[in-house]
Chains A and B, each alone.
Chain A
Amino acid sequence: MPAQVHERDTVTIRIAGDSGDGMQLTGDQLTDTSALMGNDIATLPDFPAEIRAPQGTLPGVSSFQIQFSKHEIFTAGDAPDVLVVMNPAALKVNLKDLQKGGLLIVNSDSFNEDNLKKAGWSANPLEDPAALRDFSVLKIPFASLTKNALAESKIKVSEMDRSKNYFALGLLFWMYGRTIDHTIKWTLDKFSKKPDIAEANIMALKAGYNYGDTTETAPARYVVPKAEIRPGKYRKITGNEATALGIVAAAQLSGKDVLYGTYPITPASDILHNLARHKNFKIKTLQAEDEIAACGAALGASFGGQIGITATSGPGVCLKSEMINLALMAELPLVILNVQRGGPSTGLPTKTEQSDLLQCMYGRNGDSPVAIVAPSTPSNCFEYMIEAIRIATKFMCPVFFLSDGYIANSSEPWHLPEIEKLPKFSIKHPTAADGAFFPFLRDEKTLARPWAVPGTPGLEHRIGGIEKADKTGNVSYDPDNHHKMTELRRDKIRRIADDIPPVEVFGEPSGKLLVLSWGGTYGTIRAAAVEMRAQGKKVSHCHVNFLNPFPKNLGEILGRFEHVLIPELNMGNLIVLIRSQFEGVRATGYNKVSGQPFKIREIITQVEALL
């Protein structure tokens, strides 16, 4: 009897196993296929800092959560409907998140004494009726089924176990009515130099699919219809990919070459990996000896008249701070990408957090204002990256691009922009001086100084970190001049507010409660607001992408609400800026630092407490 087919609006699946079990690959494939089948998707990869933590242990667990839906969705879902675990450790770490009544699929082969002990189970939960009674449990011996399926393949028996994730993927594809074609194509391409492995993986994938089809193990099949989303061309994108593409696009739009100076650091390195492949766009990538040199190389390129970009995460920003101040003092463009992770110090390298806002705002000696831009979704990293570069080159100043581990690694469908409609921005360099050249003579509107580049005859000049005299740029220790220059540097950053769009309010423009957010928490908070408003609750949401300066209308908006709730994945960063810049705002923080994004439920609970 064929399995019953049910229609669902949305499904959240989490797959978890050892970090060597290929969970990220499996999740990526599920994502790609769901996107290609027209669902809206959102993902949440979660992996350990160790590349291969000891097998079977709790720290070695890697997981990937995906929500696919027929509606527009903002997050990868609070709690999975389906949890697939490849070993007892993955069960131990993830079971608490599975919805009551949810489906648990277990690789029963791995529940042996040794693995159970490593994961800290005193008894085998699969044999304990109480342990899993809240869930439907499907025990499937993935490892042995895979081994049987690969009996005819050319790979060694010892290697067969590594294809078991493909078996599980095949089963999931069958359960959710997905096709296996895309994964087959991708696998052939990915393992083109190892055809035996490609063949084995595809055999396992098909075996998993057929297992679902021919046995009657699975309780049901589910169909998630196509989402009703805006027509157009889409691709799947992660934040780091969109950031890299934003850099390429900004180079094209401004007609400039880019030098991307960086030092490997999680979770920013993928941007380097992406860019290093795009050298034909005249992108030079330079892997420096350390974070400082990476920033120095970017600044050197900027002095030379090109777009200098450096990327890192919080610990790297600590090291680059002196160089950022030099860029600020020399008034050269510099774009600093900070893909935030859990801190302080080494902190939680692979987990997300938003705790570097005040570091970027204030973490340098002297009065040192810089611009700060923060994307809020994986795909809008593209437009905010372009914006960061545009501001840096227009205002001749350092600009932080403040992404985070969550949006950097998560993916979503990206409604591709029309290339022709992307805003071009021109960058001008003076070519000759009539009479004396004044390297610190400012543009009246932006207060930016001229970007005269080496190689231009007649404009030879010297810049540096010592205080400069206004206009001439000569070294000056004059007290009044220092005061004036400090004000000019501050005012220049303030004037960026004239160059950015006003912020918008979702919901009523005034009222009792406004939720104010920034950065990667956008999806969760907007989803919470949508859900609550659908229930008739009066809550508005405002999300800022420009953190310094703030959009000009922000103060006025805040003043229209009795209470402002500021949820942040830190102990209170934005709230400090709000309180210091807007008097009389009644702001309450909601703070979480667990290395995980907010859940929609958590936000709703906080909002309800204030309504």
Chain B
Amino acid sequence: MSTPTIVPPPTAPVGTPEQPRYKKDDFVSGQDVRWCPGCGDYAILSVMQKTLADHTKTARENHVFVSGIGCSSRFPYYMNTYGFHTVHGRAPSIATGLKCARPDLTVWVITGDGDGLSIGGNHLIHTLRRNVDLNIILINNQIYGLTKGQYSPTSEKGKVSKSSPFGSIDYPINPLCTAIAAESTFIARTVDMDPRHMGGILARAMQHKGVSFVEVYQNCVIFNKDAFQPVVGREHRDDRAIYLEHGKPLIFGKNKDRGIKLNGLKLEVVDLTAHPEEQANLLVHNELDPNPGYAYLLTQMTYPDMPVPFGVFRAIQKPTYDDMLTDQVDFAVAKKGKGDLKQLLFEETWEVGENG
């Protein structure tokens, strides 16, 4: 892989205070929220409401939340925007149709690990590769919650659950690896317990023109409590998580004393205290790298072998499906003129007179 070239990110940095038009409460629907007490979804909902109030000039009526089925898919009911709670796994398809019909809208897809990667895996892959301008938030708690505790496609192998009393024999799917395999143009990861980071990522996802795919680590307090604690728990976070910043070297650790370098085709942790000379060899994060190989390597950084990356893995630009579809219609109108029904119907006709 060539050394990444560093250019500034294409969008405004996170947190630019735009003229606030809304309060967070304007995005609260008033329906009773029915998630379990302590569920990570509360934090995600709250950050979403705040982010939309703070970070956008988009009018409230132009936001649409589309979801599938599962705990997290109840999300649209609680947002005071337009919302559509659809069928299991199919939200990306409905959102695609909506965005194609109405490119003026800001369309969000709220999905989960079961909804998005199991029953809806096909739609997710195709929506990502088409680069439809949607914001897809995949809330990953590595468990089926609404059906009361079966292992999910992101559960670790060996997971003991109601449907796998002897441990699951499924190898898990890696959400961000799936996204980069489909060449998603925006890929990011955040976590429910870090509202500041999450807010920044949601704002970036919204600003990205093209499909945005965000994985949010979420804590299911009932069926999979503390699944991500070894990585995101306060006591270990500095050593087991790495925060990606565009143009900056990949460094982590409480004392910023460890970094990531490329060794052949593999990433490797280097100890900067013992080997200060390695500082120059560290990978510099480049979210604009058009080659998906770099983002792919980041998706392979998993606990316990490597620190787990958070932040924007990739943010590149390419024409969106919805724009290209609109362009084809505009082009057809420009070339052939606005459709004339009479002309169309009366192609290749013959006339029958009074005498047959």
Contacts and interface: CB of A to CB of B under 8 A. Distances in A.
A300 B134 CA distance: 13
A35 B343 CA distance: 20
B277 interface: no
A234 B59 contact: no
A323 B101 contact: no
A609 interface: no
Contacts of A585: none
A462 B29 contact: yes
A454 B94 CA distance: 14
B78 to A, nearest CB: 9
A226 B351 CA distance: 12
B302 interface: no
Contact of A456 (B31, B61, B353): B61
Contact of A297 (B77, B93, B337, B354): B93
A285 to B, nearest CB: 9
A440 B90 CA distance: 24
B77 A288 contact: no
A259 B62 CA distance: 20
Interface stretch (A23-31, A106-114, A144-152, A276-284): A276-284
Interface string B55-73: 0000111101010010000
B347 interface: yes
Given A460-B61, A465-B85, A296 B96 contact: yes
Interface in B72-124: 76-77, 79-87, 90, 92-102, 104-105, 122-123
A419 B94 contact: no
Given A226-B356, A462-B29, A296 B104 contact: no
A292 B61 CA distance: 28
A465 B101 contact: no
Contact of A475 (B31, B61, B335): B31
Interface stretch (B196-204, B227-235, B305-313, B324-332): B324-332
Given A304-B105, A419-B342, A457 B61 contact: yes
A322 B122 CA distance: 16
Q: Is the interface of A mostly helix, strand, loop or mixed?
A: mixed
A595 interface: no
Contacts of B97: 259, 261, 286, 296-304, 308
Nearest to A35: B350
B341 A301 contact: no
A417 B123 CA distance: 41
B344 A289 contact: no
A229 interface: yes
Contacts of B353: 231
B318 interface: no
A293 interface: yes
A577 interface: no
B346 interface: yes
B275 interface: no
Contact of B339 (A282, A292, A302, A454): A282
Contacts of B80: 460
B25 to A, nearest CB: 14
B325 A284 contact: yes
A454 B332 contact: no
B329 A279 contact: yes
Contact of A280 (B336, B348, B352): B336
A297 B339 contact: no
B338 A280 contact: yes
Contacts of B104: 455
Interface stretch (A244-252, A529-537, A553-561): A244-252
A366 interface: no
- Of the listed residues A229, A232, A330, A462, the one surrounded by the most CB atoms of chain B closer than 10 A to its CB is A462
Interface in B266-312: none
A281 B80 CA distance: 35
Nearest to A475: B77
Nearest to A474: B31
Contacts of A297: 93-94, 96-97, 100
Contacts of A456: 61
A257 interface: yes
Interface string A313-332: 00000000011001000100
A483 B29 CA distance: 26
B23 to A, nearest CB: 15
B345 interface: yes
B341 A286 contact: no
Contacts of B11: none
A416 B345 contact: yes
Contact of A38 (B94, B332, B356): B356
Nearest to A382: B345
A514 interface: no
B101 A462 contact: no
B263 interface: no
B85 A466 contact: yes
A261 B95 CA distance: 13
Contact of B102 (A230, A290, A305): A305
Interface string B312-323: 000000000000
Interface residues of B, number: 63
B102 A293 contact: no
A259 B101 contact: yes
A322 B88 CA distance: 9
Nearest to B129: A289
A233 B86 CA distance: 47
A284 B87 contact: no
Contact of B351 (A233, A295, A462): A233
Nearest to A276: B328
A299 B84 CA distance: 11
Contacts of B333: 279-280, 282
Contact of A460 (B81, B102, B329, B356): B81
A234 B350 contact: yes
B84 A464 contact: yes
B349 interface: yes
A416 B341 CA distance: 12
Nearest to A285: B325
A300 B123 contact: no
Given A280-B339, A284-B329, A460-B82, A303 B94 contact: yes
B74 to A, nearest CB: 9
A257 B332 CA distance: 14
B349 A248 contact: no
Given A248-B344, A308-B97, A463-B83, A323 B62 contact: no
Contacts of B356: 38, 226-229, 231
B60 A460 contact: yes
A421 to B, nearest CB: 12
A462 B59 CA distance: 17
B352 A459 contact: no
B240 to A, nearest CB: 37
Contacts of A296: 86-87, 90, 92-94, 96-97, 123
B157 interface: no
A521 B223 CA distance: 57
Contacts of B94: 296-297, 299-300, 303
A330 B84 contact: yes
B126 interface: yes
A36 interface: yes
Nearest to B96: A297
Nearest to A70: B356
Interface of B: 29, 31, 59-62, 64, 66, 69, 76-77, 79-87, 90, 92-102, 104-105, 122-123, 125-126, 325, 328-329, 331-333, 335-339, 341-342, 344-354, 356
Given A249-B345, A303-B94, 13 more contacts: A232-B352, A249-B341, A259-B100, A279-B333, A281-B339, A282-B333, A286-B97, A297-B100, A300-B95, A303-B84, A306-B101, A454-B82, A454-B98
17 contacts: A38-B352, A233-B350, A234-B350, A235-B347, A252-B341, A279-B333, A280-B337, A289-B126, A292-B93, A296-B87, A296-B123, A302-B97, A416-B345, A454-B64, A460-B60, A462-B76, A464-B76
Closest A-B pairs by Cβ, 9 of them = A300-B97, A464-B85, A296-B93, A297-B97, A281-B339, A293-B93, A301-B101, A300-B98, A279-B332
